[in-house]
């Protein structure tokens, strides 16, 4: 490899680092995204400009097909479906890394340095786990299968045997590399990926997506080592490190360990997903009554949740907030770390509606404000304000940090029905004397509420 090629790859690696830094803030995210995309395009172009490649037309055709699919998918995907898209992209990355490693394995033999073979085998196994696991997470979030944990008798034993077989076969392959062993390892990885994700409940799936994203990053880094490609090594390391850190942050925000999230359902401790609608009496009101409550309040906090995103009601909510602000009401949005489906998901949804970023306040900063708040308006959220996380040790969300909405003087819950959130348990805040429920589709109901405020 020439000195110019090495420097170009190093430049691409620096570009990925700068891109990740840019993505750490809303004002620099767009530039960071463009820098990362530019570095990726340059890294892909370098081999065509510096190497004498075979099958160039086939490679160009594959790039064209993949690019077209990516552009169309990115344009058509709804913001509410962004985690599913991340899962698919992540899975494709892991699968691609595994395939490349299999191709490299056929050129290895007993004389190949053991660390090179180990990195290759690692890429095959973990890349396959990431691919199949990501497909299952996509199916759960897209509701192509149940979002509840899928468990069956003998699952832990089957997973344990599969893991043990994989380790034994991997050691044998490192000692004497063989393509057949690599194929068997890939198949075992696919099975392990499915068994790993099946017991995970719907609310925990985004955390698993982040974990699998870290897996993919590690496989890309290992592949970069085998191929002696500094760009892949740096990019994979960045993804692996950031994905691992994000997984730990999300697990902490849920008040759970990663092990509990992955295997909690095997002993009844995972977030369950669905639940039955409650028939307990609650206090409800119409848009006109809630409009009076909001219009004459001095301090209001909005708690947005995934239901807001599903209803595509963020634009109407912004109009309502703007109108109330014009009338002298102080309003902020309280953002839970796992509001929506992934960290930052709710921020992006609200930014799409031109909500000023300064109004989006993180949980740690705003929790102290609820006791000074006249009205909390909860739109499409549930578990992130459920006091059971503090008071009920048997609850699946016990220990999860929540927004202290129950400390406000009045709470208005906008809900479609009395069905519980992803945790599958009732929210006692719904039955609090200070709580008023406003039933209906979020977008339609917010429209009526907006009209009622204008009429005052």
Question: What is the structure's pLDDT at 384?
Answer: 87
Strand arrangement of the beta sheet that strand 375-379 belongs to: 360-362, 330-335, 299-304, 375-379, 410-415, 435-439
Which residues lie closer than 8 Å to 328 by C-beta, 6 or more apart? 298
Q: Which residues does the annotation mark as catalytic? A: 383
The answer to whether residue 114 scores a pLDDT higher than 70 is: yes
CATH number (domain holding residue 370) = 3.40.50.1220
Q: Tell me if 322 is assigned to some domain.
A: yes
pLDDT reported for residue 341: 67
Same-domain check for residues 295 and 380 = yes
Same domain, 211 and 351: no
* Count of structural domains, the chain: 2
Asked which of 181-195, 209-223, 264-278, 288-302 is least confident by mean pLDDT, the reply is 264-278
pLDDT single digits (tens) 232-247: 999 999 999 999 998 8
On whether both 111 and 229 belong to a single domain, the answer is yes
pLDDT at 426 (0 to 100) = 82
Q: What is the pLDDT of residue 102?
A: 94
User: Tens digits of per-residue pLDDT, 247-294?
Assistant: 888 887 766 778 877 887 676 555 544 556 666 788 899 999 999 999
Classify residue 406: in a domain, yes or no: yes
What pLDDT is recorded for position 151? 86
Q: What confidence score (pLDDT) does residue 313 get?
A: 84
Last residue of a domain, one of 267, 298, 326: 267
pLDDT at 141 over 90: no
Q: Smallest Cα–Cα separation from 83: which of 171, 212, 177?
A: 212
Provide the whole-model pTM: 0.79
Look at residue 325 in the predicted model and tell me its pLDDT: 93
Domain that holds residue 125: 77-267
pLDDT of residue 262: 83
> Is there a single domain that holds both residue 248 and residue 106?
yes
What rounded mean pLDDT belongs to the chain?
Answer: 87
**pLDDT tens digits, 361-375:** 989 899 999 999 999
> For residue 278, what is the DSSP state?
P
SS (H, E, C) 120-156: HHHHHHHHHHHHHHHHHHHHHHCCCCCCCCCCCCCHH
pLDDT tens profile 338-355: 776 677 778 777 877 788
424 falls within a domain? yes
């Amino acid at each position: 490899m020439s000195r110019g090629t090495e420097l170009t790859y190093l430049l691409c690696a620096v570009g990925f680092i700068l891109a990740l830094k840019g993505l750490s803030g809303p004002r620099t995210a767009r530039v960071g995204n463009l820098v990362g995309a530019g570095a990726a395009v340059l890294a892909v172009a370098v081999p065509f400009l510096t190497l004498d490649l075979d099958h160039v037309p086939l490679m160009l055709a594959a790039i064209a097909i993949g690019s077209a699919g990516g552009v169309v998918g990115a344009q058509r995907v709804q913001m509410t479906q962004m985690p599913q898209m991340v899962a698919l992209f992540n899975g494709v990355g892991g699968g691609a890394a595994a395939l490349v490693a299999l191709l490299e394995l056929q050129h290895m033999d007993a004389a190949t340095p053991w660390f090179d073979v180990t990195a290759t085998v690692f890429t095959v196994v973990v890349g396959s786990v990431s691919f199949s696991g990501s497909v299952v997470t996509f199916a759960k979030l897209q509701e192509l299968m149940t979002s509840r944990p899928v468990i069956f008798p003998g699952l832990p034993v089957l997973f344990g045997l599969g893991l043990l077989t994989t380790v034994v076969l991997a050691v044998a392959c490192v000692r004497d590399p063989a393509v057949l062993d690599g194929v068997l390892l890939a198949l075992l990885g696919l099975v392990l990926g499915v068994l790993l994700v099946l017991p995970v409940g719907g609310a925990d799936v985004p955390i698993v997506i982040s974990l699998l994203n870290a897996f993919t990053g590690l496989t890309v880094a290992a592949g970069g080592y085998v191929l002696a490609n500094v760009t892949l090594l740096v990019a994979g390391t960045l993804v692996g490190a950031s994905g691992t850190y994000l997984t730990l942050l999300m697990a902490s925000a849920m008040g759970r360990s990663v092990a509990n999230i992955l295997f909690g359902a095997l002993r009844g401790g995972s977030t369950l997903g669905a639940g039955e609608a409650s028939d307990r009496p609650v206090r409800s009101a119409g848009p006109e009554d809630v409009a009076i409550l909001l219009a004459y309040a001095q301090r209001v906090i909005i708690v947005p949740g995934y239901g807001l995103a599903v209803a595509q009601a963020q634009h109407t909510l912004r109009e309502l907030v703007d109108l109330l602000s014009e009338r002298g009401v102080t309003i902020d949005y309280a953002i839970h770390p796992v509001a929506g489906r992934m960290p930052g998901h709710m921020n992006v949804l609200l930014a799409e509606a031109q909500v000023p970023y300064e109004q989006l306040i993180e949980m740690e900063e705003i929790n102290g404000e609820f006791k000074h708040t006249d009205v909390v308006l909860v739109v499409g959220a549930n578990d992130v304000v459920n006091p059971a996380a503090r008071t009920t040790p048997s609850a699946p969300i016990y220990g999860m940090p929540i927004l202290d909405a129950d400390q406000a003087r009045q709470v208005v819950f906008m809900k479609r029905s009395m069905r519980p959130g992803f945790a599958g348990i009732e929210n006692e805040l719904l039955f609090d004397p200070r709580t008023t429920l406003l039933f209906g589709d979020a977008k339609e109901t917010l429209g009526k509420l907006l009209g009622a405020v204008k009429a005052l």
